[in-house]
Chains A and B, each alone.
Chain A
Amino acid sequence: MSGESQSNDKTGDKAGEGPIDWVALSGKRAKGRRPQYFDEPALDRLYSTVFALAAEVSALRERQDTVERLLDANGVVKREDIERYVPDSKAGEERGLATQAYMSRIMRGFQQQVEAMAADDPPIMDVVDKLRRE
């Protein structure tokens, strides 16, 4: 999770200023009616959750990579070192490539749908029938 110094304190403590519930406020909707993309509204909700989870898995993988790199370098890892870690250009590229590969894995269904549009295959039954006949 986030740096412990701020994250565990959900309220501001400034005199004369109301407490800020940053978790609740952060999710505030933007004014303006949201388009409905799917006939089934639950699917719109599900997309929001799936891709938020995808972002979390990506962040977890990146954190794991950071821990491993710090252990490789120092043999020990402190939480503040994780928060302060800045990849050099080689590590940045390796992590970028890993994220790109991860993206490709979770987006395969979408990517193959685009490929299928370009290929325009006939229904498999057509092929089955054709091979039965020929």
Chain B
Amino acid sequence: MASDLPPPYTAMTRHEMTPRVDHDEAARFNFLTHFNRYLSGAIGAGNRLAYESRVLPAFREEHGRDPEHRYEIRDAMNHDDWHRTWSALKRNSMEMRQHFGRQIVLRQIDELDAMARQYNEHSDLLELDPSVEQPAYQTAVDIHCQPGGYHTEERDGDVTVGANYDVGLFATTGGALGGLNDGGGQAVVEWVRSEHPDFAPRRILDIGCTIGHNAVPIAQAFPDAEVIAIDTAAASLRYGAARAAAMGVTNIRFIQASGEDLSRWSDESFDWVQTTMFLHELSSQAMPRILSESHRVLKPGGLMLHIEQPQYSDDMPLFEQFMRDWDAFNNNEPFWSAMHGQDLKQVMADAGFDRDDQFVAGVRAVVDPEIFPPAADGEEEDFGRAAIWNAYGAWKADQSGEKAKAA
């Protein structure tokens, strides 16, 4: 496959829980992968051009200074003809992805629900708890414009939102997450294996797992370990557990629980606590609670690892911060901006992870290079979407205060 062409949708790996995608449904997703690449590639430079050629000069003229915050750039760019046009295109791309995905899933929801029910009844990978409340940060808006968010049911016990999430990730990311949309989880596995080959976790907790696409590769890579994957959203867990079962994974359990309250697990009971693209979907009060709970359940010498897009720092140009913020305001990611503006090292330190025990590493999606192109970076990077992440991690100090492992 030529390096600048996305793979066709039919290159996706299939398993029993994969919604059946007919010819034209696949073709619509093919259009969207090209459309998304076009928006970030061929015309992606337009925002910077508009900013530098007219928006910034006008701002300087009006204020007698440069912008001092990404929100000042946002206010100015929201009046710019090109940025509005580009944003309208991108928003429509996200909306089409949802509509196309929901048509695929809902037209066969009877079969999908029945299949999920069968898998979940026989696999024992799913444990739902209806008493778990949906947190406000999950219900305030439908995150990334997914109708129903991760949690809403179209009818009792259905898998619509989980299946729709899975079926369309390919289009949103232009195929950058690989055949099972698990390039993030694969990236985590590769980092652990190459950087810490002796690390042999027995119990792993994945918080905010949604459909488990990033937790399953960890379970597959550490077959002797027990992976507990939790989320508050039953509608996603139901699909995720059935998906894992269909893939033949047995050492994972999907449990409906909130990361803010891990009280059912005792202190120091996990070797590894993982979150992947999760922290930005919380709130300022929830994030430290989850990190504190993570610290509590982690064994001394255990690994805490968060995969996220890079935090905004003083070193990151304000224009880049503004571009990375697009999803917060245009794609229903309301905590994205505040989260990425936080000093995550301090938040983790407040949760008990000594700064000296923390590290940051760069990881990128691990996909089959025969089929899937390398993740875009550089000038054509799709700000905030590229399958290139930072791993914000810490090794929990053991009781004697010694640093268990150097990062």
B-binding residues in A (CB < 8 A): 1-3, 6-7, 12-14, 17-18, 20, 22-23, 25-32, 34-35, 37-38, 44, 47-48, 51-52, 54-56, 58-60, 62-63, 66, 82-83, 85-87, 89, 92-93, 95-97, 99-100, 103-104, 107, 110-111, 113-114, 117-118, 120
Contact = CB atoms under 8 A, between A and B. Distances in A.
22 contacts: A3-B20, A3-B22, A7-B107, A30-B141, A30-B148, A30-B332, A31-B332, A32-B141, A37-B91, A38-B84, A44-B88, A47-B89, A55-B35, A58-B31, A92-B11, A97-B5, A99-B31, A103-B38, A103-B42, A107-B38, A110-B89, A117-B50
B46 A117 contact: yes
A22 B107 contact: yes
B43 A110 contact: yes
A3 B54 CA distance: 50
Contacts of A66: 23
A1 B25 CA distance: 9
A7 B8 CA distance: 23
A114 B46 contact: yes
A117 B31 CA distance: 27
With most chain A CB atoms within 10 A of its CB, the pick from B31, B43, B99, B146 is B31
B142 interface: yes
Nearest to A99: B34
Given A12-B109, A92-B10, A114-B46, 11 more contacts: A14-B114, A26-B107, A44-B88, A52-B96, A54-B35, A55-B31, A96-B6, A96-B8, A107-B38, A113-B85, A114-B49
B88 A28 contact: no
A18 B8 contact: no
A1 B372 CA distance: 28
Nearest to A9: B107
A2 B149 CA distance: 26
Nearest to B106: A22
A120 B49 CA distance: 10
Given A2-B25, A22-B106, A51-B89, A17 B31 contact: no
Contacts, number: 185
B268 interface: no
A27 B91 CA distance: 15
B102 A28 contact: yes
A59 B102 contact: no
A127 B155 CA distance: 65
Nearest to A35: B330
Contacts of B154: 20, 25
Given A92-B11, A99-B34, A37 B88 contact: yes
A2 B110 CA distance: 17
A58 B27 contact: yes
B95 interface: yes
Contact of B106 (A18, A20, A86, A87): A20
Contacts of B145: 30, 32
A107 B92 contact: no
B88, B107, B154, B329: which has the most chain A beta carbons within 10 Å? Answer: B107
Nearest to A10: B107
B406 interface: no
Nearest to B93: A51
A37 B147 contact: no
Contacts of B34: 58, 96, 99-100, 103
B6 A48 contact: no
Nearest to A18: B155
Given A99-B34, A100-B34, A22 B45 contact: no
B313 interface: no
Interface in B94-133: 95-96, 98-100, 102-103, 106-110, 114
A51 B147 contact: no
Nearest to A39: B84
Nearest to A89: B1
Given A30-B146, A117-B53, A22 B92 contact: no
A47 B141 contact: no
Given A30-B332, A38-B88, A82 B23 contact: yes
A5 to B, nearest CB: 9
Contacts of B11: 92
B227 interface: no
Interface string B18-42: 0010111101101110110010001
A11 B350 CA distance: 53
B23 A85 contact: yes
Contacts of B220: none
